[in-house]
Structure 1
């Protein structure tokens, strides 16, 4: 995502045509965390880079999870009042193409809270923003849990109405079985009681589902699924069996069909069998599993001794281009799976899947210098608190992919020192990754000065926390007319150099940002991803906060 054409901050706030923004010199006391001269980002750029580079509550090398979350919430609150159209677009995009679930929910709550406190009324409605970030059936409950823990039990009507809109879209018999579990702080019945969602008129079956959800929550011993719902009745029949009978059904000749008909996820099967997930059980469950559930369980398949013919079916599914696109997973998920899967039978499939997930990395013409940050902070920080994969490895994935697709590329790793990383056209990305090292501190300028030899462009994949004390940032050795693209993985507040003509900053953990390189060099206007269409598609289709109040089920 481009975040740096040369537009003044004041002008940027009054237009939707250009993203932003000058990096402002911020005085002698404002520096990178390594002590280098730093530049202050315009608030929209700071929020975007933080949102796409941060998982909520995640500890990083230079900032605690609490500090980053507080900075994120503060920026959302400020911009929700000052620039609501842009902020609503960001939150909607985060949950959609950005695939950042928790950040979008937390941000939507902060957006509404700030606008209610300020009495703001212009821009997208609070109700529509809440609705736009709820894309999975457990998220209405998660948003309510966050709101009540952060802001108290008094839930405003716009929040209730936005959640009710989402409930009508998302609640079904299948989502009930998957997400309405005792581990949730807000069950489906709790959500329905609080927001009073009425069934969707176009879903005549939904009223019975709502009533069953309420019974499951308040009278579980008496709750009976609607007789007309074959999924729920099949699930109830399977759960009525003893553990031994249930295992016999699962491992029987039609076990896979019975599990699918009963809407049983692999997690539910593992919990209900009260015994080992052996090869026979996995064989029955695998046909119903989604692609990323398969990827997460490759080690379990090997430990259970799943036969090679079944493993071949799994490999074919997880490496299919359509499945990879549908899963919307970050490329580093496949790298993490490759690092932790114990057997070689998954390696080729994961390599293909990783390649598909990098489909948007462009084939850059001419000569390209690609600099990959391998400093200590990149190794200390992981891409999420639940992952062991470092930002250094994530940076190497994209750097290697860019180099392999470019017409002619110099791939360089840098830290306190720097060196070229050898590669050959057509070889797997994962093979190139084995040639990267850990290189200590972050002297970006020295690496640029050493390796810039008249290339047509420079790309730097980094957390921007460089040791530098000059007036033009780490790209100073590069002529002003040569484009320099910084891809920021961490979203820290200090920028390592100024923005302006031919100096651009991207962010995030997917390859979507690289689409903008081709657009910029083709002379096309680069805008925020969510401003390509109507200025506010959510507000244009959703009712305002006070309209269409939902009724009790």
Structure 2
């Protein structure tokens, strides 16, 4: 008898609930989900405008819009909380913007007017996002802006518009001045009032005079006015880091301002004021420019501390490691990746972990990224295995094999042992490797093949043993039941929903992670 599952009962519930019916994309018996469950699984993996292996971007986006609209009508409070979590903890910007806009339009079409402003405000957490939302709204619904949209955007503008934000993000079809003229937010104080007026003047080419209350923009204007021939000498001066920081100069703006390469001295001046994600993305550039070891050590320390990097998705660290494989970043990236997976539980007893390495998993999570869903599956599976008390780690596709590992090694090392195994015979892998484990975790897109012996992988495990599926892509039909009877599904590209597993194992119902 297992020592670890006694607290769990078949009555324990989890939020993602399945309904029988349908087929997976590979012809296996499928399980559809209720509306909120389907929206959650799609949203936490949806970059918007991106195709998945089995689903075109247009179809995927249409399904997302439909699900958002249905939930907006039935439970707007849930949708507000979900959008805020999706943008914040899950770190998905575009999906949040689309969900907010589509949710408001659905409610307005249903003559439901209360609470719509909150949907807009919940999605906007960075200063370029008010313009992003207006660009999406006008492309979908025309230039007429309903009051809830104006007021929700206005609420966000008061929180987000600062001098540094204007210096960094004032671009695109809807610039800061456009947003302000369309939504008319009241400034939070006199200094923000000056900023609002200046942003509008700047949009219309009337920005010759910068108010004294805007010191960052005044310092920036002085730098931009320098002759090109004098700019590199300024950057190489001892006080360059401070002058660039006080003027709100990002590395992108400095690259254009210098009109030449960013060498080691330039990077050394820029690094102190660079954001966490900007440093992470530029490790290879630091190496190629020859940034010194002392400066690199400071970058590595920041990577480990994760100061300013709390919402970085785990895959960013694997991408940075592959782009900049030098030894001086390896330990720091390994520690930072582990810190980004804090919600992956340390499971007691014996755990069978199966990682999907079928062909459909080798699809990029975004057209701008070389990272695939297979990479994400390997990261999560490796983290689960390394933290578990005793784990069997298996990769599967049309075949399957156990992956050996040692406790104490890094996730970055372990993920490189996985391969490409073709089709999706999940149930066969479970049957081959389940040996009385206390639980089974499957990290997958759930698109199982249909076979004569049955393709529900959860049916290959005794009913008293919990089976957890971590869904990475959010297709319409899954490979098994979920929500009750020790069969549960979670999902996403971040670690946050993993926190529900310990609740279930303690015999408690698991709610949404927001």
TM-score by length of 2: 0.95
Deviations, residues 400-442 of structure 1 (Å, cap 9, x unaligned):
1111111100001111111110001111112212221111100
Q: Is the CA contact 2:354–2:441 (under 8 Å) kept in the aligned structure 1?
A: yes
Deviations, residues 354-388 of structure 1 (Å, cap 9, x unaligned):
11111221110000000000100011x11222110
Distance 1:524 1:18, change over 3 A: closer
User: Residue 251 of structure 1 corresponds to which residue in structure 2?
Assistant: 236
CA distance in 2, matches of 1:228, 1:465: 58
Q: Is the CA contact 1:6–1:20 (under 8 Å) kept in the aligned structure 2?
A: no
User: Residue 507 of structure 1 corresponds to which residue in structure 2?
Assistant: 491
Is 1:393 the equivalent of 2:370? no
User: Residue 53 of structure 1 corresponds to which residue in structure 2?
Assistant: 45
Distance 1:18 1:459, change over 3 A: closer
CA distance in 2, matches of 1:21, 1:401: 23
Q: Is the CA contact 1:55–1:385 (under 8 Å) kept in the aligned structure 2?
A: no
Deviations, residues 324-354 of structure 1 (Å, cap 9, x unaligned):
43xx101110001111115332112111111
User: Residue 238 of structure 1 corresponds to which residue in structure 2?
Assistant: 223
Q: Is the CA contact 1:188–1:213 (under 8 Å) kept in the aligned structure 2?
A: yes
Deviations, residues 415-470 of structure 1 (Å, cap 9, x unaligned):
11111100011111122122211111000000000000010000000000011356
User: Residue 338 of structure 1 corresponds to which residue in structure 2?
Assistant: 321
The alignment partner of 1:476 has SS state of: helix
RMSD of aligned residue pairs (Cα, Å): 1.7
Is 1:180 the equivalent of 2:170? yes
CA distance in 1, matches of 2:25, 2:389: 36
Note the C-alpha offset of 1:524: 2.4
User: Residue 382 of structure 1 corresponds to which residue in structure 2?
Assistant: 364
1:193 is aligned, of 181, 188, 205, to 181
CA distance in 2, matches of 1:349, 1:472: 42
User: Residue 335 of structure 2 corresponds to which residue in structure 1?
Assistant: 352
1:373 is aligned, of 356, 365, 376, to 356
Q: Is the CA contact 2:29–2:455 (under 8 Å) kept in the aligned structure 1?
A: no
Is 1:436 the equivalent of 2:412? no
The alignment partner of 1:370 has SS state of: strand
Q: Is the CA contact 1:324–1:353 (under 8 Å) kept in the aligned structure 2?
A: no
Q: Is the CA contact 1:20–1:45 (under 8 Å) kept in the aligned structure 2?
A: yes
Q: Is the CA contact 2:276–2:306 (under 8 Å) kept in the aligned structure 1?
A: no
User: Residue 551 of structure 1 corresponds to which residue in structure 2?
Assistant: none
Is 1:270 the equivalent of 2:255? yes
The alignment partner of 2:354 has SS state of: strand
Is 1:455 the equivalent of 2:407? no
The answer for unaligned runs of 5 or more in structure 2 is: 1-8
Is 1:489 the equivalent of 2:472? yes
CA distance in 2, matches of 1:318, 1:111: 37
The alignment partner of 1:399 has SS state of: helix
The alignment partner of 2:100 has SS state of: helix
Is 1:130 the equivalent of 2:120? yes
Matches within 5 A, 1:142-221: 142-181=132-171, 184-200=172-188, 203-220=189-206
The answer for unaligned runs of 5 or more in structure 1 is: 8-16, 531-553
Q: Is the CA contact 1:36–1:466 (under 8 Å) kept in the aligned structure 2?
A: yes
How many corresponding residue pairs? 504
Note the C-alpha offset of 1:21: 5.5
Note the C-alpha offset of 1:529: 1.8
Q: Is the CA contact 1:416–1:441 (under 8 Å) kept in the aligned structure 2?
A: yes
Deviations, residues 180-223 of structure 1 (Å, cap 9, x unaligned):
13xx11011101111111111xx231110011001100124x43
CA distance in 1, matches of 2:506, 2:481: 23
1:23 is aligned, of 5, 10, 18, to 18
